[in-house]
Chain A
Amino acid sequence: MNGIIYVIFIVSAMTITPSVFEYYTPSTMVEAVNLLEKYGDEAKLLAGGQSLIPLMKMRFASISHVIDISRIEEMDYIKEDSNRLSIGALTTVDELGSSVTIKNRYMIIKEAADQIADPLVRNMGTVGGNISHGDPANDLPAVMLSLDATFMVQGKNGGKEIKAEDFFVDSLITALEPNEILYEIRVPKMVKRQGGAYIKHKKSAGDFSVAAVASNIIVDGDGKIIKVGVALTSVGPTPIKSTRAEGILAGKKLTEELAAEAARSITEESDPVSDFYGSIDYKKKVLRFIIKESLVAAYKRAKEAQ
């Protein structure tokens, strides 16, 4: 691996305990928002803790007020109505993967959820946490980008909607203000002839991806692509929504060659870094391979969903 610039893993902290903090357990969203308002920058929400607790134990993050929202029942649900799928932010990753609604109609979400970490993490980690953490290696953000999801946010001064496209600002930075809470994820209801696939390339079960891709496709009665959303995981400072996919694929039937061409083009939109898991060239090779694979799978599912 000559000539490769590595991402630095700083090992200054080798601890296993967090520093001292105050701990709160609000039972409603309003209470949680009030606490956030009160403690501002010194506070952090704790949902499943699967990202936050490791940071605290290694003392990468020192937080003086921890607001544990995991007991807020009103934020734990999966509902589908005539317009949309609504996922409460406190739905665990395991609940997401096990939901019958998701399994029957949102295969792309299930595929991503089932490949997140291991059962221990999935039992604790939440959908809201997975998205709010802003980690470009987390799997659900790309899925939500490909599905054109909307995030419902509540702050002291009321609620707002943030489009998935506008949410991910930089590595570990999102459009959420410190005093805001993400309470619901809204996904447009699956229509006829829509299919999606999430393909994750990882070293072994339980790992984060080297690269992953979410593809969401809607076709017409002839099998021509009407709408397509493609988003990438782990290959840039944020999850990346492709801006080229639509232009290459819309109005066409997907062939192997077209999928390969699209994969090559979409790969150019990525911005991976060389690290221990591979050089930039290798990661782009992975992308070319899995983007094509996911387009083909999503297209097949879309046609079969006729």
Chain B
Amino acid sequence: MITGQKFVEGKGTYVDDINLPGMLYMAIVRSPYSRAKIASLKGGLNSSDYEGRMASVGEGGSGEINIYSEPVFAQGYTSYLGQPVAAVFGEDRYKAEDLLNSVDVEYEPLKPVMEIDAALKADPIHPGTKNNILIDKWVGKEFKDTSSPIVLEDSFYNRRVATNPMEPRGVVATYDGNRLTMWASSQSSQSIKEGLVEAMNLSPDSVRVIQADTGGGFGLKGGLHPEYVIAAHAAMKYKRPVKWIETRSEHLSSSNPGRGARADIKIFAGKNGIINGVTGEVYVDAGAYGGFGEFAPRFIAYQLTGPYAIPNGYVRAIATLTNKVPQGPYRGAGRPEASYFIERMVDLLADELKMDPADVRIANMSSEPFKSPLGLEIGAAKPFFQDALKEFEYGKRFTSDTAGLGFFVLVPGIGPGEGARIKIEKGRVKVWLGGDTAGQGHQEFVRTLIREELGIASDLVELQLGDTDAVKRGVGAWGSRSAITAGAAVIAASGKIKDMVIKDFGDYSPENALSGSYDIDHFEEMKGTLNSFGANIAVADVSPLGAIRVKDCWSYYDVGRVLSKESVWGQIMGGIVQGIGQVVSEEIAYSDEGELLTGSIADSGVLSADQVPNFVVKVAENRSDLPHGVKGLGEAPTIGVPSALVRSIEKVTGKRIRDTPVRPEDIAEDF
């Protein structure tokens, strides 16, 4: 059976397949303006009924409510197009959408603040605050460089990208008088629960979140969203189950997109290509509220030396508030941005010195582990990179005239570890993880590890969906962390089961284990770093009208030991498509007046099959120090592909490329 076969056969149970007796359908009245005063509001469930705000939870979340936390319903004014203003409930989806007209809202549109630069100058978008700066911190140590002969500066922008999972967001909430139960399409039932508890002031015991089969997440489904709180509140208020399923239009306007980061970078280098220092500013367009945007700029700044041994670094990390939907994590979540910024500068240096980009990179690599002035710890980069050049047949199959080369370090999100529960009963094994698989097929690595650790055949092992009642503590599936952290937790839990079997039977055998009943819920604490390297080659063809076709895309990633070849290859190929998408077309864009320009999935630029290139996937299986030898993987392609592809476009067109996506009109020939 292939991973995901049941989904292909239509046998999945997604959250929209869950129907409870008496269930109400929820539809949301959303702000049609990026910024407006709500002059009057009548009807539906709205802020007069529920005034709460939400803490940001999940990847990069602070877990705390502050003045920048998003309100569940807009309160007196709206701060982004698509912001929930009211909610209506009907017996079915049609009736719920009919009721949207029953809510009377009078808006007084205000001039929205749409871009980072405008936000820095504009009056605060939120009354009672001083300015639109969400965060402003320096990372690294100030340095003076007056001796480097080469000083290069440039500015880059990775525009916003929708996460666009195939299945949009959705929840079903129900309340039995004591406990709130929520089914969700999820990457982290644990975070959603944490968020509900915090936002609604509930006791942890009174909330249960259960994952339904999940058709993709890419970062979006690890956190709490206003609609979840509204559904939960309504279920408690009306004492009936409530379902909310996002439409694609809602997804494109009202769900947290990723990227949206700009940088002004300066590097100091010698004529031999050695970079002595990097400084500059990283700006993140946080959107209208805090959350991931509070974390992202510092995370990007911290990685700005990339895989290179750059001895000096001092970077200002800023997030600004704008009248856009709050930014969120998207596959890579800060890693691709950092890599893009430094790789673009390294290519610029190669051009300045007329060196091969591979040689400039080698000149900046260490054969030893290196701790960067910005705090990033990496292993010895040079040996891996030299292997990569061999794997790519660089210089023969590909040359720097047309091929773009990208090199990066992947920093997986390891801390604080992950939970796993293993239950053996009636000769079968059930496993729960603290993070929820959203289509990556975690079942595969779980089965491999149980087979290796406990000697139990894969067909007896079933990975269960996330459930906060089943696992005491867990984190989430994001940040290239699941095989590392949940894998380690499965191994530790397996060890405990082994010990118990030995205690019961005198020795361990799979038969003994399967004949007994065991139940271990274990949280494996983990910290530190486990970084790995990856490299990409991309070759693009650009038509006279600026249409980009990717001809070749090769990858060589150090994924550690491969637990499931199919999963690893699937992750790499899917990620490459998203990496290409970010470069050639994917974007969430607004006009200066705040209208959404990308309201359909076609406009948002998701690639179609005809734009998928020849993949060549190669991996280095350099074991990590973990018992199962794995390293991070899931985000590698979205980190590595954009800079490589952009470089190829730059070489083929002869035009310097700074921003993604690359607009055809900017690279079309002149005629």
Contact = CB atoms under 8 A, between A and B. Distances in A.
Interface size class of A (residues with CB under 8 A): 20 to 34
Given A204-B607, A281-B665, 12 more contacts: A9-B596, A11-B599, A14-B249, A17-B93, A19-B94, A19-B97, A201-B545, A203-B547, A205-B610, A208-B602, A276-B598, A289-B671
Interface string A1-17: 10000101111111111
Interface of B: 27-28, 30, 32, 81-82, 93-94, 97-98, 100, 247, 249-250, 253-254, 544-545, 547, 585, 589, 591, 595-599, 602-603, 605, 607-611, 663-665, 668, 671
A10 B591 CA distance: 12
Given A6-B597, A8-B595, A204-B610, A15 B97 contact: yes
A220 interface: no
A58 B28 CA distance: 14
Interface in A246-284: 275-276, 278-279, 281-282
B11 to A, nearest CB: 22
A59 interface: yes
A203 B596 contact: no
A198 B575 CA distance: 35
B30 A288 contact: no
Given A58-B249, A289-B544, A17 B671 contact: no
Contacts of B249: 11, 13-16, 58
Contacts of B598: 9, 276
A207 interface: yes
Nearest to B248: A16
A6 B592 CA distance: 9
A38 B254 CA distance: 42
Contacts of A58: 249
A282 B30 contact: no
13 contacts: A9-B597, A9-B599, A11-B249, A14-B82, A14-B247, A14-B249, A15-B247, A17-B97, A201-B547, A203-B605, A206-B602, A281-B665, A289-B544
Contacts of B595: 6, 8-11
Nearest to A8: B595
Interface string A196-223: 0000010111111000000000000000
Contact of B665 (A10, A14, A278): A278
Contact of B664 (A13, A20, A278): A278
A124 interface: no
A78 B106 CA distance: 53
A28 B142 CA distance: 82
Most buried by A among B27, B254, B591: B591
Nearest to A201: B545
Given A11-B599, A13-B249, A285 B671 contact: yes
A190 interface: no
A58 B601 CA distance: 14
A18 B250 CA distance: 16
A227 B82 CA distance: 53
B611 A1 contact: no
A22 to B, nearest CB: 15
A226 B595 CA distance: 48
A63 interface: no
A282 B610 contact: no
A286 B250 contact: no
Contact of A59 (B97, B253, B597, B668): B97
A224 B261 CA distance: 57
Nearest to B606: A204
A207 B545 contact: no
A204 B544 contact: no
A9 B608 CA distance: 23
B273 to A, nearest CB: 35
Contact of A11 (B28, B32, B607): B32
A203 B544 CA distance: 14
A12 B31 CA distance: 8
A279 B664 CA distance: 11
Contacts of A20: 94, 98
Contact of B82 (A11, A59, A279): A11
Contacts of B668: 282, 285
Contacts of B97: 15-17, 19, 59
Nearest to A205: B610
B607 A14 contact: no
Contacts of A279: 665
Contact of B32 (A1, A6, A12, A206): A12
Contact of B602 (A15, A59, A207, A282): A207
A282 B664 contact: yes
A6 B596 CA distance: 10
Given A11-B82, A11-B249, A203 B597 contact: no
A193 to B, nearest CB: 30
A282 B664 CA distance: 9
Nearest to B597: A276
Nearest to B28: A14
Contacts of A14: 28, 30, 82, 247, 249-250, 253-254
B271 to A, nearest CB: 36
Most buried by B among A8, A203, A288: A203
B671 A11 contact: no
Given A11-B596, A206-B608, A17 B94 contact: yes
